[in-house]
């Protein structure tokens, strides 16, 4: 059985998403939004989003402090 596609990105869980324009040198507990594959979307607890299924889109679910809680494709 093959590994789930999102397993490649599971190392982001527990890390904070930042932008390269905001943080020049990221720490070990951060990752750059710009390094995510396209297409992607970052979803906060209050994000309004479409429910369309896009199997190639990485969804990064973050908490209110932008700490990654989960990743999935769709």
3-state secondary structure of 27: coil
Sequence-distant (≥ 6) Cβ neighbours of residue 69 within 8 angstroms: 13, 61, 62, 63
pLDDT in tens, 46-63: 999 999 999 999 999 999
Domain positions in the chain are 7-17+51-74
* Residue 1: pLDDT band with limits 50, 70, 90: low
Question: Taking 90 as the threshold, does the pLDDT of residue 38 lie above it?
Answer: yes
Question: Taking 90 as the threshold, does the pLDDT of residue 6 lie above it?
Answer: no
pLDDT in tens, 8-20: 999 999 999 999 9
The secondary element (H helix, E strand) that includes residue 56 is: none
């Amino acid at each position: 059985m093959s590994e789930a596609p999102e397993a490649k990105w599971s190392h982001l869980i527990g890390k904070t998403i930042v932008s390269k324009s905001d943080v020049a040198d990221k720490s070990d507990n951060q990752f750059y939004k710009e390094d995510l594959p396209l297409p992607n979307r970052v979803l906060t607890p209050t994000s309004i989003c479409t429910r369309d299924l896009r199997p190639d889109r990485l969804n990064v679910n973050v908490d209110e402090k932008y700490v990654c809680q989960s990743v999935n494709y769709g």
